[in-house]
A and B are shown apart, each in its own frame.
Chain A
Amino acid sequence: MSLFLIYALAATGLFVICLHGLITRAHLLRKILALNMMGSSVFLLLIAIAWRNRIDGVADPVPQAMVLTGIVVAVSATAFALALARRYHAETGETELSDEDGST
């Protein structure tokens, strides 16, 4: 098994674990963390692909650039989600979405 496949399979494993966490964990902070880690696992896969596509020691710059922009998007989306969760907590005192609308 090549180094690329090890990284890529680790990325898929991480993605699925985080998806499971996102579905089953009720606490909003855990859900936000799970979403953030799902993004990180995709970055891991993209960086592995960039390394696989290297020519003469130059890694593929297209996946690298996608990861660079992706990190900033992930950070800002996570921060916005945290701000929303804080506001929700301030309004309701809850850290979980209620069952009434069929979530959790």
Chain B
Amino acid sequence: MGNRDPLTDPGMLVRILSSVFSVALLAVLAFAVLDLGDEPTGLTSNVMERIDESGVAHPPTAVLLNFRAYDTWLEVAVLLLAAWGALALRQATRLPEQPAARSPGPVLDWLVRILAPLAIVTGVYLLWRGTDAPGGAFQAGAVIGAALVLLRLSGYRSVGLLSAFWLRGSLLAGFAGFLVVATALFLAGWSFLEYPPERAGLLIVIVELLITWTVAVSFVALFVAARPDPDDLGEESGGGHV
């Protein structure tokens, strides 16, 4: 860092070039944003016109799981790839089971015993509310995943008990559920990822349930796979014990 001459210090040169580039990009982006203007141009009216056919009453949920189900489906695929990639980095086919760490203290122990069930109930409630209010599969999955991480951190056994088969199944559930529903409807004469309006509500709830579980387990898998604990490294496939 001692040399500040941009001609001989490559780090300084990169900084200067990056600054120039950033300012230029800022000007272009700001122009683009100002060009957008204040006039509403979106698809709000289109969504509100057809929301009765979607099977749910909350517009973002209708877009997420019906009108633009393709996006959501492939996004679940991204989640699946990330979780699988993280597990592959440790050559683990199942989550290393939590070593029976002794409780760090009565307060945490008591808090987790109350918070974890409460968080799971909250997650299910969020999932259920998603049909007509803010909420839905991803929020519910995040809350339940946080509860599972909390359980794991405080030494309770949860998803570490899943066998390799059930862990894979859990990670795959959202993607596969979507695919099965879409294929079944496709064979029944609807276009791919299009729901019949009278059954849409039920199908969306089924898909959302599966996505919730996938999101929750994926978050725990990603959390565990990124953990620094050296004991977890090199966990052999199939061997669940630590």
Contact = CB atoms under 8 A, between A and B. Distances in A.
Q: Do A and B bind each other?
A: yes
Given A12-B33, A16-B26, A79-B86, A24 B222 contact: no
A28 to B, nearest CB: 13
A84 B89 contact: yes
A95 interface: no
Contacts of A37: none
A1 to B, nearest CB: 10
Contact of A65 (B71, B85, B218): B71
Nearest to A53: B42
A76 B59 contact: no
A2 interface: yes
A83 B26 CA distance: 32
Contacts of A75: 219, 222
B147 to A, nearest CB: 16
Q: How large is the interface on A (under 10, 10 to 19, 20 to 34, 35 or more residues)?
A: 35 or more
A5 B63 contact: no
A19 B22 contact: yes
A76 B218 contact: yes
Given A24-B18, A71-B138, A79-B222, A62 B38 contact: no
A74 to B, nearest CB: 10
Nearest to B64: A65
Given A12-B26, A24-B18, A69-B75, A64 B41 contact: no
Contacts of A4: 38
Given A23-B14, A83-B89, A77 B26 contact: no
Contact of B33 (A5, A58, A63, A90): A5
Contact of A64 (B15, B26, B36, B60): B60
Interface residues of B, number: 54
Q: At the interface, is chain B mostly helix, strand, loop or mixed?
A: helix
Contacts of A13: 26
Please indicate which of the listed interface residues B48, B59, B67, B142 has the most CB atoms of chain A within 10 Å of its own CB.
B59
Contacts of B26: 12-13, 16
B47 A62 contact: yes
A69 B82 contact: no
B172 to A, nearest CB: 15
A54 B36 CA distance: 15
A35 interface: no
Please indicate which of the listed interface residues A60, A76, A84 has the most CB atoms of chain B within 10 Å of its own CB.
A76
Contacts of B19: 20
Contacts of B104: none
Interface of A: 2, 4-5, 8-9, 11-13, 15-17, 19-20, 23-24, 45, 49-50, 52-55, 58-66, 68-69, 71-73, 75-77, 79-80, 82-84, 86-87, 90, 104
